[in-house]
Amino acid sequence: MDASSETIADALLGWYGRHARPLPWRSPPGSPPPDPYRVWLSEVMLQQTTTAAVGPYFRRFIERWPTVEALAAAEDAELMSAWAGLGYYARARNLLACARAVAAAGGAFPAEEAELRKLPGLGAYTAAAVSAIAFGRRAVVVDANVERVVARLFAIGEPLPAARAAIRAAAETITPNERAGDFAQAMMDLGATICTPRAPRCMLCPLSGECAAFRADEAERYPVKAAKRAKPLRRGRAYWIERDGAVWLVRRRPSGMLGGMRALPDDGWSARGDGSGELPLAGQWRETGVVQHGFTHFGLELHVAVLDGDGARAVTLSEGEWWPVNAIEEAGLPTLFAKAARAVLAHRA
Ligand code: SF4
């Protein structure tokens, strides 16, 4: 590390000592690292999700499954229901696969990034974060917050995503050998609270003296982003089949979009994407609402159709369950289908 890299690390760690966010999965600055299980669980939950949204889920998971062995013993369906609402459901499937792999190997997470990366669902970021935060190993941890701070500190003008290599190389130069876990969390906190995407609070920033973007009065210009392409829009249909105060729910196939989750039956929009699937039952269907939902790579317009009259009374359905309508909030539906259910019930009120 050269003098200015050391200045950056020292200034940031000093700031972190005073301003660290108290989060349920953390140890206070300068204290021994937290349980690797908690670090790993929180990092998986935090991918694409805010700390505010993750907090209650994290607490519930730790209460219900206090160790990696306990989580490994959970039923798939039980875990998917507990995850419902957090989104990006492949993470939940990988979470279980990873917990089982760690439990089968004796219950201890490995400390090295390379070993962590062999576990299901642990990409470069999560492996680096667990290695640094839970084991104090020197690892270069670059999430979206860190990416923004580093792009500004070094005024990296290349647009994302091509700039990632340069950002990583620059992050490498400022990562200290000691307290790498605190340093990683300090960068995340700085990005979340001071060096925010809009209107960064440079006057309060411990790194302003070293920041190239601040010196040029161009903080918001970085990171430079490539022009966005509009997301494609898919259309689909979900079906509400109800009788005797209960609605028919299915379990989605284990792989694919929202895999393994409880759901309303639908027309296969996730595979076909054109809403052309067939109605599951003959009868009088009534279009009751439209739900808009954003996935990572496409937007979805989901039309909700309700089977009218006695249509649902006569049918025999397989591979699913009748779920009490007045307890629909407890079905663990992913957000898309929870919205569809609310659309039906709002229409009725
Ligand atoms: Fe971000 Fe401003 Fe601090 Fe630079 S000085 S790191 S732009 S908050």
* Mean pLDDT of the region 153-164: 94
Which among 98, 45, 42 is positioned nearest to 72, based on CA atoms? Answer: 98
13 Cα to the center of ligand 1, angstroms? 15
Pocket test for ligand 1, best of 15, 153, 196, 220 (most atoms within 8 A of CB): 153
Which tens digits make up the pLDDT trace of 199-242?
999 999 999 999 999 999 999 999 999 887 888 999 999 999 99
pLDDT at res. 319: 79
Locate 326 and state its tokens.
Answer: 């007045």
Q: Is the CB of 167 under 6 A from ligand 1?
A: no
Of 106-115, 269-278, 316-325, the poorest mean pLDDT is in 269-278
Give the model's pLDDT for residue 1.
58
C-alpha–C-alpha distance, residues 333 and 105, integer Å: 33
CA gap 81, 85 in Å, rounded: 9
To the query of whether residue 329 is one of the catalytic residues in this protein, the response is no
Per-residue model confidence (pLDDT) at position 48: 84
pLDDT above 70 for 273: no
Q: Is any ligand 1 atom within 6 A of the Cβ of residue 205?
A: yes
Residues 147-165, mean pLDDT to the nearest whole number: 95
Residue with tokens 């576990």: 119
Task: Kindly state the percentage of the chain with pLDDT values over 70.
Answer: 94
Contacts of 222 (CB under 8 A, 6+ apart): 148, 151, 152, 155, 156, 157, 213
Percentage of residues in the chain with pLDDT exceeding 90?
77
Q: What is the pTM of this model?
A: 0.77
Task: State the pLDDT confidence band at 72, using cuts at 50, 70 and 90.
Answer: very high
pLDDT at 49: 87
Per-residue pLDDT at 151: 98
**CA distances to 100, 169, 257, 300 from 113, in Å:** 19, 17, 29, 37
Q: Tell me: pLDDT of 18 over 60.
A: yes
CB of 150 within 6 A of ligand 1: the answer is no
Tell me whether residue 2 is exposed, middle or buried, using C-beta atoms within 10 angstroms of its C-beta: 0 to 12, 13 to 18, 19 or more.
exposed
Q: Render pLDDT for 78-126 as a digit per residue (tens, 0 to 9).
A: 999 999 989 888 899 999 999 999 999 999 999 999 999 999 999 999 9
Higher-confidence position of 185 and 310: 185
Per-residue confidence band for 316, with pLDDT thresholds at 50, 70 and 90: low
For residue 207 and ligand 1, the question of a CB distance below 6 A is answered with yes
CB of 151 within 6 A of ligand 1: the answer is no
pLDDT band at residue 23 using 50, 70 and 90 as cut-offs: very high
Residue 170 structure tokens: 């620059």
- CA 167 to ligand 1 center in whole angstroms: 15
- 186: CA distance to ligand 1 center in Å? 13
For 11-20, 144-153, 277-286, which range has the lowest pLDDT when averaged over its residues? 277-286
Residue 109 token pair: 């997470």
Question: Ligand 1 centre and the CA of 292: distance in Å?
Answer: 36
Ligand 1 proximity of 15 Cβ (cutoff 6 Å)? no
Closest atom of ligand 1 to 206 CA is 3
With 80 as the cut, is the pLDDT of residue 278 above it?
A: no
Determine the pLDDT at residue 185: 96
Alpha-carbon torsion 12, 181, 92, 258, what sign? positive
